[in-house]
Structure 1
């Protein structure tokens, strides 16, 4: 049962991070008057994609504290694990 709760939290963390990245790219696209796809390409070419992923992780903070507030500590642990997973992914991206 505990593994299932952590896995649910991990999935929520990945989904929240993905949603945060999409919102950041949509804001960037709207601000620069570029399309969604072009904004991703420009961010990649300029080396800003890792920063956008890190900004997307802010949504994990909301999910984390929401789970803590409703006493779902294992799900909050899963969200924290997803945040660490994103951080390691950013580190690998930056080192390549």
Structure 2
């Protein structure tokens, strides 16, 4: 039962990150085509920063789960945020 709640939190964290990434691409991107924005981000070396900005929405989801006393879901959001952090580190240092 606890694992299920953690996975629900991870799913919410993933969805929040994706929505945040799309929102960041809308604000900072120079095209309406997301593929073009991602290609430009890779070429200019700021894809990791774009993903990090997208993960800011996880903060809201985390505090909502804490406020509702759904600690296991909050743990899942935190785990997803750490995965996003490791991904951005890998992008930064491997490219």
TM-score, normalising length: structure 1:
0.91
| C-alpha deviation, 1:45, in angstroms | 0.5
Query: Separation in 2 of the partners of 1:63 and 1:35?
Result: 27
Q: 1:46 maps to what in 2?
A: 44
The residue that corresponds to 1:73 in the other structure is 71
Gapped runs of 5+ residues in structure 1? none
How many residues are aligned here? 93
Unaligned stretches of 5+ residues in structure 2: none
What is the Cα-based RMSD across aligned positions, in Å? 1.0
Give the alignment partner of residue 32 of structure 2, picking from 30, 35, 39: 35
Query: Which of structure 1's runs of 4+ aligned residues deviate more than 3 A?
Result: none
